[in-house]
Chain A
Amino acid sequence: MTGLVINGDFETSPSSGFPDDGVTDGPSDIPSWKSNGTVELINSGQKQGGMILIVPQGRHAVRLGNDAEISQDLTVEKGFVYSVTFSAARTCAQLESINVSVASVNADADDMLASRNVDLQTLYSVQGWDPYAWAFEAEDDHVRLVFKNPGMEDDPTCGPIIDDIAIKKLFTPDKPKGNHKFLYISIFDSKVLKCAYFTLIFLVTFCR
């Protein structure tokens, strides 16, 4: 699979429609995603405390409250490296970060295969959000991609906004390992071998 994950832009309407500013606590309220904790679908233009919340792309995004997470199971090819691209924005002045991880679908929820905290810094662009990339190696054909807010802010409505989650299988060429190129270099590195080689060619040519 390459490109947006299913409903990775959060534009698919929940069965009950997009909440005006409701907090969804139950599971599966965001189509194709599992959620845990205070996960909120936000609309572009939505305000909070006089501040307009940033929606990176389209009309909707998701905000993760303290310790909240969303996840989706993906089918990948074992042994390959995948890169996950996602857009993220901060909501409060503090340094916020987001934890991206993959876990084995069949194992316990805590059994992470790879995990990374990504700091969200608004300095990179004035739009207030940026796309980020993170890579993992698929150790299984089925993995659970998890986005979690590791923060514990006093204000529970603080928390990063994420949007536009995509995945791409990377083409990683094998490292050159003692192949003919190195043989070639080693032959021509040595003056003696070089002389011998050209002499041989001379002899072969003139003896004809």
Chain B
Amino acid sequence: MINGDFEDGPWMFRNTSLGVLLPTNLDEEISSLPGWTVESNRAVRFVDSDHFSVPKGKRAVELLSGKEGIISQMVETKADKPYILSFSLGHAGDKCKEPLAIMAFAGDQAQNFHYMAQANSSFEKAGLNFTAKADRTRVAFYSVYYNTRTDDMSSLCGPVIDDVRVWFSGSKRIGAGFGFWVFVLLVVGLV
């Protein structure tokens, strides 16, 4: 995926604690969030680790406005092959009222993921198995609920997603097998 960890994005001021809103943008080639489009009429929020809880690195995306805030990316795949969409789902640490949940789409699959509050972490890892139907597969996320902050009851907030990856399901096993065989052959060859 391009920019699946959301580390590349618009300029953020260190002293601004509101994140940056990313309004509708349908052009993936010219996007403030490289690789991603904001498909919906409403914006999503680009957040920084200085002011929000971010699962990985310094940046992530907070989904706002329920179904009215959708981000997506087209990823290259091979038709009829199995893949895993993996990502981190978390709480932004901004007093957002739970429950937090997202809907994740990948190829022929769509699934709800509910965020369960963690004792030592602000996020959890999640994955979705899917089969690619073509050589380009759409991956998309939106927030299931319309969340607001508990302190003012009106500011929009929502679940945070980060570290989005698409894996070829078989690649890990083959990779391990390949490494193992190379190792075995090297040993045998040396002996």
Question: Taking beta carbons and an 8 Å cutoff, which residues of A are in contact with B?
Answer: 2-3, 57, 81, 83-85, 87, 114, 116, 118-119, 121, 123-127, 129-137, 164, 166-168, 170-173, 175-176, 185, 188-189, 194, 198, 201-202, 205-206, 208
Whether B20 contacts A131 by the Cβ 8 Å rule is yes
Identity of the chain B residue whose Cβ is nearest the Cβ of A168 in the assembled complex: B11
**Contact partner, B11, options A118, A123, A166, Cβ 8 Å:** A166
Identity of the chain B residue whose Cβ is nearest the Cβ of A186 in the assembled complex: B78
Whether A81 contacts B30 by the Cβ 8 Å rule is yes
Whether A133 contacts B185 by the Cβ 8 Å rule is no
In the complex, what's the smallest C-beta–C-beta distance from B144 to chain A, in angstroms?
A: 19
- Contact (A126, B174) CB under 8 Å given A205-B189, A208-B189: no
Q: Does B133 sit at the interface, judged by CB under 8 A?
A: no
Beyond A131-B13, A132-B20, 20 extra complex contacts between A and B, CB < 8 Å: A3-B11, A81-B30, A85-B10, A87-B16, A114-B30, A125-B18, A130-B18, A130-B21, A131-B19, A133-B11, A133-B23, A135-B32, A136-B30, A170-B9, A171-B34, A173-B35, A175-B2, A188-B171, A189-B81, A205-B188
Whether A83 contacts B10 by the Cβ 8 Å rule is yes
Q: Which of B8, B11, B15, B18 has the most CB of A within 10 A?
A: B11
**Contact partner, A172, options B34, B45, B78, Cβ 8 Å:** B34
In the complex the two chains form, what is the Cα distance from A179 to B155 in whole Å?
A: 45
Chain A residues near B12 (CB-CB < 8 A): 85, 131
Which size class do B's interface residues fall under? 35 or more
List 14 contacting pairs A-B, 8 Å CB cutoff, sorted by A.
Answer: A57-B16, A85-B10, A121-B42, A123-B155, A124-B156, A125-B155, A129-B18, A131-B18, A132-B21, A166-B11, A170-B34, A185-B168, A205-B188, A205-B189
- Contact (A126, B30) CB under 8 Å given A57-B15, A132-B23, A133-B10: no
In the complex the two chains form, what is the Cα distance from A137 to B20 in whole Å?
A: 20
In the complex the two chains form, what is the Cα distance from A136 to B12 in whole Å?
A: 17
Whether A189 contacts B78 by the Cβ 8 Å rule is yes
In the complex the two chains form, what is the Cα distance from A121 to B44 in whole Å?
A: 12
Identity of the chain A residue whose Cβ is nearest the Cβ of B2 in the assembled complex: A173
In the complex the two chains form, what is the Cα distance from A164 to B12 in whole Å?
A: 10
Whether B185 contacts A202 by the Cβ 8 Å rule is yes
In the complex, what's the smallest C-beta–C-beta distance from B48 to chain A, in angstroms?
A: 11
- Contact (A83, B11) CB under 8 Å given A123-B156, A201-B181: yes
Whether A201 contacts B34 by the Cβ 8 Å rule is no
In the complex the two chains form, what is the Cα distance from A81 to B36 in whole Å?
A: 14
Q: Does B63 sit at the interface, judged by CB under 8 A?
A: no
Whether B32 contacts A127 by the Cβ 8 Å rule is no
- Contact (A188, B178) CB under 8 Å given A3-B11, A170-B34: yes
Whether A126 contacts B32 by the Cβ 8 Å rule is no
Whether B185 contacts A205 by the Cβ 8 Å rule is yes
Chain A residues near B152 (CB-CB < 8 A): 126
Q: Does B50 sit at the interface, judged by CB under 8 A?
A: no
Q: Does B25 sit at the interface, judged by CB under 8 A?
A: yes
